């Protein structure tokens, strides 16, 4: 399938308690060429390494199935901020940019991401946060991959964590669009069942919008190109420890196929 590819900069305001600064997020926009048809689109938010191959892995499969993709590096080489909500405006600006493209259907734009990008894809489902960081548009579907669920569980239960301004209201008022979390049961940041416990901590009115799939024997970043063992301060519920990554091609293929089927279901055209 023929695709057009464009390197872009997404301008957004990085707002913190101490500073308001303009941030330029780097992106790669790929649009399959189909005359006379407005395409669905998916924003893929990278993690701290930026364009490390994971976004291209999922984006290529989505493009083969007729989706435009925008692979977005919100850190742009500047490292992770102390609070991810400071970069929510970046993903919502990417949504606005795609919605303005005449080749894309503005009602059929989803978001997915890995690790830190998964956290942003999950937080973007909060209507309480979207009101502060977005204009009128909302994503039509959310697919967070290994988004460190223990932190989101703490938010849902109102327990303090290091992210300022995150309280119960974050997940008590949501956009109502479908959210599906993919996680491995050997994730070194989470303990087995943490993502399910996050979902179960949501209010009965909100919970039906959230689903979880846990892959057996999958580590954190099973879809990475290489395995690794690194010490992470946020591992093991913030107690610190070593996080093992095993690159597993079979599980990666399953999660890639899941991404395609999830967005085909929820971004289907009329």
Q: What is the DSSP string of the chain?
A: --EEEEEEEEEEEEE-SS-EEEEEEEEEEEEE--TT-PEEEEEEE--TT-SSSHHHHHHHHHHHTT-EEEEEESSTTS---S-GGGGHHHHHHHHHHHHT-TTEEEEEEEEEEETHHHHHHHHTTBHHHHHHH--S---S-EEEES--HHHHHHHHHT---SSTT--THHHHSB----EEEEEEEE-SSSPTTHHHHHHHHS-TTTGGGEEEEEEEEEETTTTSSS-EEEEETTHHHHT-EEEEE---HHHHHHHHHHHHHHHHHHS---
In this prediction, what percent of the chain has a pLDDT beyond 90?
63
Q: Is residue 9 part of a domain?
A: yes
Whole-number pLDDT of residue 130: 94
Cα 240 → chain centroid: 23
Residue 124 lies in a domain: yes
Tens of pLDDT along 115-131? 999 999 999 999 999 99
Please state, in angstroms and rounded to a whole number, the distance separating the CA atoms of residues 164 and 105.
Answer: 35
pTM comes to: 0.91
The CATH number linked to 130 is 3.40.50.1820
Q: What is the mean pLDDT of residues 74-85?
A: 74
Is 173 among the domain residues?
yes
**pLDDT tens per residue, range 169-227:** 999 999 999 999 999 999 999 999 999 999 999 999 999 999 999 999 999 999 999 99
Structure tokens at 219: 């580590």
Please give the tally of structural domains in the chain.
1
Give a yes or no: residue 142 inside a domain.
Answer: yes
Does a structural domain hold residue 231?
no
Residue 233 has pLDDT above 60, yes or no: yes
**Computed from CA positions of residues 142, 146, 147, 152, in that sequence, does the dihedral angle turn out positive or negative?**
positive
Residue at 122 is within a domain:
yes
Spatial contact of 96 and 127, defined as CB atoms under 8 Å apart = no
Task: Answer yes or no: is pLDDT of 137 > 60.
Answer: yes
Residue 150 domain-assigned (yes or no): yes
In a domain, 212, yes or no: yes
Domain residues for the domain of 144 are 3-218+250-266
């Amino acid at each position: 399938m023929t695709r057009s590819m464009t390197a872009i900069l997404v301008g957004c305001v990085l707002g913190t308690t101490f500073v308001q600064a303009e941030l330029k997020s780097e992106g790669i926009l790929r649009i399959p060429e189909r005359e006379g048809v407005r395409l669905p689109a998916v924003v893929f938010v990278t993690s701290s390494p930026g364009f490390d191959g994971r976004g291209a892995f999922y984006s290529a499969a989505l493009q083969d199935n007729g989706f435009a993709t925008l692979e977005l590096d919100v850190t742009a080489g500047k490292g992770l901020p102390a609070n991810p909500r400071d970069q929510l405006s970046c993903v919502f600006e990417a949504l606005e940019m795609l919605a303005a493209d005449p080749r894309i259907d503005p009602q059929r734009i989803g978001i997915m991401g890995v690790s830190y990008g998964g956290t942003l894809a999950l937080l973007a489902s909060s209507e309480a946060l979207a009101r502060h960081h977005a204009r009128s548009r909302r994503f039509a579907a959310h697919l967070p991959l290994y988004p460190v669920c223990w932190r989101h569980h703490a938010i849902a239960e109102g327990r303090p964590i290091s992210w300022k301004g995150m309280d119960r209201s974050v997940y008590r008022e949501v956009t109502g669009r479908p959210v599906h979390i993919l996680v491995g049961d050997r994730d070194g940041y989470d303990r087995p069942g943490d993502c399910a416990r996050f979902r179960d901590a949501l209010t009965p009115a909100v919970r039906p919008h959230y689903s979880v799939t846990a892959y057996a024997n999958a580590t954190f970043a099973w879809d990475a190109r290489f395995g690794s063992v690194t010490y992470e301060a946020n591992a093991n519920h913030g107690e610190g420890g070593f996080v093992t990554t095993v690159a597993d091609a079979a599980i990666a293929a399953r999660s890639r196929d899941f991404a395609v089927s999830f967005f085909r279901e929820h971004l289907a055209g009329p």
